[in-house]
Amino acid sequence: MKQYPQRLHHDTPGWVKDGAVFHIRLRVAAEQAVALTDSTLASKLLGAARSYHLSGDWWCDLFLLMPDHLHALLAFPEEPGMSVVIRNWKRAAARLQGVRWQENYFDHRIRNRAEAQEKWWYIRRNPVVNGLCPSEQDWPHWWSASQSAR
């Protein structure tokens, strides 16, 4: 039987252009007691996402919280790279807000503008599809640098 590695490696290949956007999904651990959408926690997590954007740790096209996971469309600087930035953000959220995360995360590189738009709407519709609100406009737990600039 084939053996699989215990950890996934999220190093961005050298041929991926700097500034490429990735769909990132982080899940909370089973023992996480408070939903990410708890108003106090959500406010802090969205503030931290905005802070990382403003400090240049990542470019945040979209950051959306669900009760047990989050979705984001993010671009990362070449140094220190995606894995380090995600790890640091998760550690800070764990230390400062008490979030218990699952190990690792999902990432998918967005390859073109059409895919970026498709992922944007997939993420924005996630709360609607899961029956948490009637329309995207009713979901308060999201932030976008592109939408904030308008």
Q: What digits encode the pLDDT tens for the residues 86-105?
A: 999 999 999 999 999 999 99
Residues 18-31, mean pLDDT to the nearest whole number: 91
Instruction: Output the six-digit token pair for 142.
Output: 């999201």
Residue 42 counted as domain residue: yes
Report the pLDDT value the prediction gives residue 9, as an integer from 0 to 100: 45
Q: What are the strands of the beta sheet with 142-143, ordered from one edge?
A: 106-109, 21-27, 69-75, 59-65, 142-143
Report the pLDDT value the prediction gives residue 147, as an integer from 0 to 100: 78
Average pLDDT, the chain: 89
Report the pLDDT value the prediction gives residue 19, as an integer from 0 to 100: 67
CA dist list (Å): 63 to 73, 86, 95, 113: 7, 13, 20, 18
Q: Which residues touch 76 (CB under 8 Å, ≥6 apart)?
A: 12, 22, 58, 59, 82, 85
Residue 14 counted as domain residue: no
Instruction: Round to whole Å and give the CA distance between 38 and 34.
Output: 7
Residue 3 counted as domain residue: no
Asked whether residue 52 carries a pLDDT value surpassing 70, the answer given is: yes
Can you give the CATH number for the domain in which 129 is found? 3.30.70.1290
Residue 8 counted as domain residue: no
CA dist list (Å): 118 to 33, 85, 101, 105, 111: 32, 25, 27, 21, 11
Are 41 and 99 in contact by the 8 Å Cβ rule? The answer is yes
Residue 10 counted as domain residue: no
Residues 110-119, mean pLDDT to the nearest whole number: 94
Measured in whole angstroms, how far is the alpha carbon of residue 128 from the centre of its chain? 18
Tally of domains within the chain: 1
Residue 7 counted as domain residue: no
Which residues span the domain enclosing 136? 21-148
Residue 55 counted as domain residue: yes
Report the pLDDT value the prediction gives residue 149, as an integer from 0 to 100: 52
Asked whether residue 15 carries a pLDDT value surpassing 70, the answer given is: no
Model's pTM, two decimal places? 0.87
* DSSP single-letter state for residue 131: T
Residue 12 counted as domain residue: no
**Which is more confident, 143 or 15?**
143
Out of 11-15, 28-32, 44-48, pick the least confident.
Answer: 11-15
Asked whether residue 116 carries a pLDDT value surpassing 50, the answer given is: yes
Instruction: Report the interhelical angle of 82-97 vs 39-54 (nearest 10°).
Output: 140
